[in-house]
Amino acid sequence: MTEVVSIASRVSAHETLRGSAGRGHIRIDGVSIVFGSGRAAHQAVTSTTLDIRPGEFVCILGPSGCGKSTLLNSIAGYVRPSTGEISVDGEAVSGPGPDRGMVFQQYSLFPWKTIRENIAFGPKVGGRSATECGSIANTFLEMVGLTKFANAYPAELSGGMQQRVGIARALANYPSVLLMDEPFGALDAQTRLMMQESLLNIWSEFGTTVVFVTHDVDEAIFLADRILIMSASPGSVIADLKVPLARPRSLEVETSEAFMELKRSCHEKIRAESLRAFQQQAQ
């Protein structure tokens, strides 16, 4: 491919980068999720109702095992709610689909595909031409700063780079919703901070709705417009907090008074909830 062609296609792809803006309205209506049946039945999520606005960045925060992944997976369409309904932009979710991009914690790239092929996978199975796939791949390789690694295999990349590819791969379908399940949970602290900043940059360019699961309070506050705190067994949303921090945010914000205030309040809610769960178990 000549340089002229690739630049031209990159420009046209950039124009559509905000194509997802205005879409991505998630409605969760009275959803509860039960695994198993009879005696072995386990309620992972209890009657949850939520409304997530287009373009909103929402963090779901809660301790391990409280049902965060289950709730996210039900939006993704991997798990069917036992009761209630989920819709995105008015359309009921009935299974996984390319309108909802998913980023997993780790090891989710196709190891036998190069970075370029991984990123172009969505457009390719969606029936786009090879040329289109190529230019989309270039756009997103550049966006996550991995153009140099286009022809490498995932195993040759560090954990942080692999997650950047995972984000690029999900976004290459121009989804209206980006679902992320502790995507930085397996990274070291330094890389993690860098990834958070670069995710915010990407999101501000993209404008897609993001639902981000984490158990790290700092991460949730730094990233989100809105934090949903989940309680343990049975999982339900016990607090819905707005994050009053201006954007664009940089890491300095983490030492601001507003940040500290919110952090205190999150910890308080989580502690009260843990205590309640603990007493419940003791009875």
Does residue 54 bind another protein (CB under 8 A)? no
Task: Output the smallest distance, CB 57 to another protein, in A.
Answer: 19
Of 115, 109, 108, 111, which is closest to residue 152 (Cα–Cα)?
115
Task: Output the smallest distance, CB 12 to ligand ADP, in A.
Answer: 39
Task: Output the smallest distance, CB 86 to Mg ion, in A.
Answer: 18
- Interaction with ligand ADP in 28-67: which residues (CB under 6 A)? 35-36, 42, 44, 62, 64-67
Query: Running DSSP on this structure, what letter comes out for residue 213?
Result: E
42 makes contact, choosing from Mg ion, ligand ADP, another protein, none, with CB < 5 to 8 Å by partner type, with ligand ADP
122 makes contact, choosing from ligand ADP, another protein, Mg ion, none, with CB < 5 to 8 Å by partner type, with another protein
Does residue 264 bind ligand ADP (CB under 6 A)? no
Does residue 79 bind another protein (CB under 8 A)? no
- Interaction with ligand ADP in 135-174: which residues (CB under 6 A)? none
Query: Running DSSP on this structure, what letter comes out for residue 25?
Result: -
Coil, strand or helix: which one is 24? coil
**Closer of 67 and 123 to Mg ion (Cβ):** 67
35 makes contact, choosing from ligand ADP, Mg ion, another protein, none, with CB < 5 to 8 Å by partner type, with ligand ADP
- Interaction with another protein in 110-139: which residues (CB under 8 A)? 110-113, 121-122, 125-126
Does residue 39 bind another protein (CB under 8 A)? no
Does residue 89 bind another protein (CB under 8 A)? no
Q: Is the dihedral of CA 216, 221, 225, 228 positive or negative?
A: positive
Structure tokens at 152: 């490498």
Q: Which helix (H) or strand (E) holds 212?
A: strand 209-214
Q: Which helix (H) or strand (E) holds 52?
A: strand 42-52
- Applying CB under 8 A, among 100, 116, 164, 249 the residue interacting with another protein is 100
Could you give the C-alpha distances from 203 to 57, 67, 168, 196, in angstroms and in order? Answer: 9, 25, 11, 11
Beta strands in 89-234 (DSSP E): 91-92, 100-103, 177-181, 209-214, 226-231
Cα–Cα distance for residue pair 191/162, rounded to 1 Å: 12
> 227, 61 in Cβ contact below 8 A?
yes
Cα–Cα distance for residue pair 120/130, rounded to 1 Å: 9
Q: Which stretch binds another protein (CB under 8 A): 18-26, 73-81, 223-231, 273-281?
A: 73-81
Does residue 179 bind ligand ADP (CB under 6 A)? no
**Closer of 40 and 155 to another protein (Cβ):** 155
Q: Is the dihedral of CA 16, 22, 28, 29 positive or negative?
A: negative
Cα–Cα distance for residue pair 161/146, rounded to 1 Å: 8
Of 72, 173, 83, which is closest to residue 119 (Cα–Cα)?
173
**Closer of 119 and 195 to another protein (Cβ):** 119
Chain residues binding another protein by CB under 8 A are: 76-78, 95-98, 100-102, 104, 107-108, 110-113, 121-122, 125-126, 148-149, 151-153, 155-156, 169-170, 173
Chain residues binding ligand ADP by CB under 6 A are: 35-36, 42, 44, 62, 64-70
